[in-house]
A = this chain, B = another copy of it.
């Protein structure tokens, strides 16, 4: 169904570089589950390593935004970009990080509202207020 093969563990193991990433995914998440996105990316081990490296850094490194907030932001972007796989996987990830039904509902409300006002601002071609540009 995918446009590339989804590599099994057996197949990923053929590339030491890919296998190392799979092992790091498992260690980082403390789970044996490696989801399809990584199995698809594993066809290009350097790309797999590059993307996973970024994701690990951006989503789990110490920082000022709680991991759950980062994950909910990910859901928002994935929705606006219309990526079905990403909406599913990051909603699941947000739940795993503690997102409550109430938080999910509020997230959906913001996403919906923003999409509406985005469209209205674009349709009316509203010029940016000077106040927003002033440094």
Give the distance in Å from the alpha carbon of A124 to the alpha carbon of B87 in the complex.
8
How many monomers of this protein are in the complex?
A: 6
Which residues of chain B have C-beta atoms less than 8 A from A43's C-beta?
Answer: 101, 105
Which residues of chain B have C-beta atoms less than 8 A from A126's C-beta?
Answer: 2, 6, 36-37, 40, 85
Partner of A108, one of B33, B54, B59, B120: B120
Assess A106 versus B65: contact at CB under 8 Å? Given A57-B50, A128-B85: yes
- Count, chain A residues at interface, CB 8 A: 83
B64 adjacent to A106 (CB under 8 Å): yes
Which residues of chain B have C-beta atoms less than 8 A from A73's C-beta?
Answer: 72-73, 76, 107, 110-111, 114
Q: Is A3 an interface residue (CB 8 A)?
A: yes
Q: Which residues of A approach B to under 8 Å, CB–CB?
A: 1-6, 33, 35-37, 40-41, 43-44, 46-47, 50-51, 54-55, 57-59, 63-65, 69-70, 72-92, 100-129, 131-133, 135
